[in-house]
Amino acid sequence: MPSPTIDGTLRGYVIPIGGGEEKMNNPEILSKFVKLSGGNDAVITVVPTASQLDDTGKRYQKIFEEIGVKKTYSLPITDRNDAKNPAYVKILEKSTGIFVTGGNQLRLSTILGGTPIAQAIRQLNAKGVNYAGTSAGAAIVSQHMITGGSSGTVPTEGGVNLAPGMGLINTIVVDQHFNERNRLARLLSAVSFNPFLVGIGLDEDTAAFIDHNNVFTVVGSGAITVVDPSDIEYSSMAKARAGDALTLLNLKVHILSSGARYDIGERKAYVS
Amino acid sequence: MPSPTIDGTLRGYVIPIGGGEEKMNNPEILSKFVKLSGGNDAVITVVPTASQLDDTGKRYQKIFEEIGVKKTYSLPITDRNDAKNPAYVKILEKSTGIFVTGGNQLRLSTILGGTPIAQAIRQLNAKGVNYAGTSAGAAIVSQHMITGGSSGTVPTEGGVNLAPGMGLINTIVVDQHFNERNRLARLLSAVSFNPFLVGIGLDEDTAAFIDHNNVFTVVGSGAITVVDPSDIEYSSMAKARAGDALTLLNLKVHILSSGARYDIGERKAYVS
């Protein structure tokens, strides 16, 4: 569950990005994240833990500086000890925006899960600090996080692997590189386990800017596929054997491109 | 439009198959087609025109003979002249089941379109003769036939190419090798042009047995994805530029596996 909001403060934006966001030439998504976080006066802290590359944090610092941010940090957290470092928590507390890079979402959950860093990220977001994460950094916002599964369009029993995520938002399950890696099958498998979830499939260079009312706006060059199982009449998930094709009756699907909005609470899509 | 039904006669089954149907070891789909066409007393005529291989017709004759059919024919139609041959029409008229093989659906439409063979197939089906077609032979049953398009899950303007098909059934658009070739994107593009169509995505080794009431039952090892745009609230197709991601609000999707049924007229899915 998301960290409870303290009376009177509004939660910061939660911004899952589908990976592969434009970084150099008109970086629409990153610029909008910066703008919402204070523009040139934003303080952006990068958490590059998902990545195995040494320069991922510095690379994003440079990108944010090119966008005009004067103060950027990167936290070199590579193991659970690092994730308990109070100095890093202090830096997060100075931030107006937190950016979590791509890589492997299981590195994020295994290294950050249950640590002061994870706790700080959740609490700061609840107090108004914006969170943006790309690829693995997008997956981890879900409480029930997709870590793997079958590609294709048709869901199967056993077609998705879930693990506990950071849970900045608990009613959606996020998937990324969605169109590029043909991930509808695994997203459908995920929502068919328990229709309280809404599935959000993010294409590359596409982000959901989720506001404190749990309404998101689509930003970027691709689309967001929303799978809403609220009206589902039947799912064969409980009796299917491993690998079996599933029967799922009455899924609602929206394809949302730039400017379209979706109200996660009301489960309603709008053109703009 | 389908050939009008003569009073009192019921249309034969229309059986699009997603390609790659099991042929040797328990060929469930082909056996059911044979059973509905008279079992051992069926007369099955193969139309191998979509294929460029010389032995496709003979190969299917052998498969049907192994299932127990005593009388099988294959019509070696490879150009429009062949498709006017009255001897071939006579053979079709003796048939209880017509089977159209895979290959290239544009060969079917360009060679058979508007010929006495195409006319005979439509009229015979209207009079009760069963039609089964796999892959290209499945695509051609649609009045608006998919001939190509983008793979992936997210539709785009220009993401599908349509051509006139044989039109045994005019309210559905059929796609095949659906999960195997990630064809949701092009099926969504097709239905978003005009929501009077229902999109039917057939996995390999999976068939829709469409009866004279336009209700189909799923047979085979995969699934059928039904995309019903009846309740669509908005489509950006009319104003999108080539390659743009689309916005489509409120699509209904069903994933149907073996035994599930769908009423095309009522647009309603049933578990069994």
- Per residue in A8-55, pLDDT (tens digit) is 789 999 999 999 999 999 999 999 999 999 999 999 999 999 999 999
Query: Is the Cβ pair A257, B247 closer than 8 Å?
Result: yes
The number of CA neighbours under 13 Å toward the Cβ of A102 is 14
Question: A271, B184: Cβ pair inside 8 Å?
Answer: no
Residue pointed to by tokens 């099926």: B187
Query: Could you tell me which of B169, B258, B167, B172 has the C-alpha nearest to residue B207?
Result: B258
Q: How far is Cα A23 from Cα A81, in angstroms, rounded to an integer?
A: 31
Helix (H, G, I), strand (E, B) or coil at B216: strand
Task: Summarize pLDDT for B120-154 with one digit per residue, the tens.
Answer: 999 999 999 999 999 999 999 999 999 999 888 88
Pairwise CB contact (< 8 Å): A257 & B251: no
Contact A33, A15 (CB under 8 A): yes
* B153 contacts in chain A (CB < 8 Å): 153, 178-179, 182-184, 201, 225
Residue A13 tokens, joined: 């934006």
Q: Which residue of A has its CA nearest to B248?
A: A255
**Coil, helix or strand for B162?**
strand
Q: Distance between CA atoms of B128 and A201, rounded to whole angstroms?
A: 45
Residue B6 has pLDDT above 70, yes or no: no
Kindly give the pairing relationship between strand A71-74 and strand A43-47.
Answer: parallel
Averaged pLDDT, B157-172:
90
Q: State percent of chain B over pLDDT 70.
A: 97
**Distance (Å, whole) CA A13 – CA A34:** 11
ipTM of the prediction: 0.79
* Active-site residue, A144 included: no
CB proximity list for B243: less than 8 A, separation 6 or greater: B156, B157, B158
- Its CATH class, for the domain covering A14-260, is alpha beta
pLDDT tens-digit readout, A249-272: 999 999 999 999 999 999 999 997
Averaged pLDDT, B71-79: 97
pLDDT tens track for B88-126: 999 999 999 999 999 999 999 999 999 999 999 999 999
Q: What pLDDT score does A112 carry?
A: 94
pLDDT-derived band at B43 (thresholds 50, 70, 90) equals: very high
- For residues A194 and A236, is the Cβ–Cβ distance under 8 A? no
Residues of chain A with pLDDT under 50: none
- Which H helix or E strand runs over A147? strand A144-149
DSSP one-letter string for A233-264: -EE-TTTPPTTPBP-EEEEEEEEEETT-EEET
User: Looking at beta carbons, which residues of chain B come within 8 Å of A233?
Assistant: 269
Specify which residues B216 forms β-bridges with.
Answer: B210, B262
Query: Quick one: pLDDT at residue B4?
Result: 67
Q: Contact A245/B201, CB-based, under 8 Å? A: no
Yes or no: say if B142 and B186 are a contact pair by the CB < 8 Å rule: no
- pLDDT reported for residue B185: 92
B253 contacts on A by Cβ (under 8 Å): 227, 248, 251-253
For the domain B14-259, what is the CATH superfamily, name and number? Class I glutamine amidotransferase (GATase) domain (3.40.50.880)
Compute the CA torsion angle B235, B236, B238, B241 (nearest 10 deg). Answer: -150
Residue B225 to residues A100, A236, A260, B137, B151, Cα–Cα distance (Å)? 36, 15, 25, 18, 15
Q: Does residue A177 carry a catalytic annotation? A: yes
Distance between A188 CA and the closest CA of chain B, angstroms: 10
Contact predicate B132/B15, CB 8 Å: yes
Nearest to B222 among A154, A179, A201 (CB): A154
B79: exposed, middle or buried (C-beta count within 10 Å: 0-12, 13-18, 19+)?
exposed
Which of B151, B153, B223 has the CB atom closest to A245's CB atom?
B223
Contact across the interface for B250 and A252, Cβ inside 8 Å: yes
Q: In A, what residues contact B, Cβ < 8 A? A: 151-155, 178-180, 182-185, 188, 201, 203, 206, 221-223, 225, 227, 233-234, 236, 244-260, 269-271
Choose, from A37, A135, A189, A235, the residue flagged as catalytic.
A135
Average confidence score pLDDT of chain B = 93
